[in-house]
Amino acid sequence: MSSSTADVAQHATPPTTPGPTPARRGALRRPPSWRRAQHRRPWLLLSPGLLLLAVLLGFPLVRVVQLSFQDYGLRELARGEDNYVGLENYREILTSSFLWQTVLPNTVGFAVVCVVLTMLVGTAVAVFLNTLPRTWRTLCLTAVMIAWAVPAVTGTYVYVWLFDPLNGLVSTVLTDVGLIDRGAVNWFAERFSFYAIATLNVVQHGFPFVAVTVLSGLMTVPRELYEAAQIDGASAWRRFRSLTVPILKPVFAVCTILSTIWDFKVFTQIYLMPGGNGGNPDVYNLGVWSYIESFAQGRYGMGSAIAVLLTVILLLITVVYMRTLFSEEEL
């Protein structure tokens, strides 16, 4: 090595590692207060909506819970007085045979049947729509959305007309074919037939949501998977069970839990049917029972306690729903 090359090597500066970029240095120097402000920013953006919910939902909920601990009727309402009785309303409700033999079976059984049928019908419609060409799928989706857009009040009155004992379409057809006599069968008087009609009403009104949601999930599944399974000899049912269900498991879970919440608190479809507004106690569910006790009987404390019981059940279902959303990737 020459002397000049050695001098250059001796005086050469050692390589240095690159330091942090200016943006990185600025991030490191940011004070804790800035980071706390960043964490508070989402809550500041949500605060108007949270405040509105607190006013519209929080205060009525607190008031209902407060009334549930009182023997509160028309006299207390007129005088503006409170009459606390502690847990007496809850004790009367939970020890009532009417709750365990009529109201709770109606509420739970009706909700379970409606959820199962809604999921089955909605999934079947979604699978059918997924096989249609674009034009026919659009037309069928429009019809499904129209069925979904029909208000619950309108749909209920349609079913009341269909099953009217004298002039209803079902009674007329069965009379014409000689199966029954006109006016001999009141479909709304018996508990089973009453809830069978209500189930048809609720499923018809609820399956479009499941169909549209499941269809959205089906359209994201690569068709190559189905083609490969078909080449391997898998039947249509095997492809659905082994491919569609595992892939869309989060979608099915969310639809099931939402349908359960909606069907547990069905009120309109029960109350507007003949006998559901208080004429036939055998068809009460928790929502109708709470309404009748409060506004028909004037026992606002008892009605509030029933409403709190229904709210607790729905909160438990909501907890399951939230846990399902957060664990969606693990399903």
pLDDT of the residue at 21: 52
pLDDT of the residue at 16: 52
Helices (H) and strands (E) in the chain, counts: 19, 0
pLDDT of the residue at 29: 61
Element (H, E) at 145: helix 134-149
CATH architecture group of domain 105-299: Orthogonal Bundle (1.10)
pLDDT of the residue at 12: 47
As a whole number of angstroms, the longest Cα–Cα distance in the chain is 123
Reported pTM: 0.78
pLDDT of the residue at 330: 54
> How much is the mean pLDDT over the chain?
83
Weakly modelled stretches of the chain, pLDDT under 70: 1-37, 325-331
pLDDT of the residue at 131: 86
Distance CA 29, CA 7 (A): 41
pLDDT of the residue at 105: 92
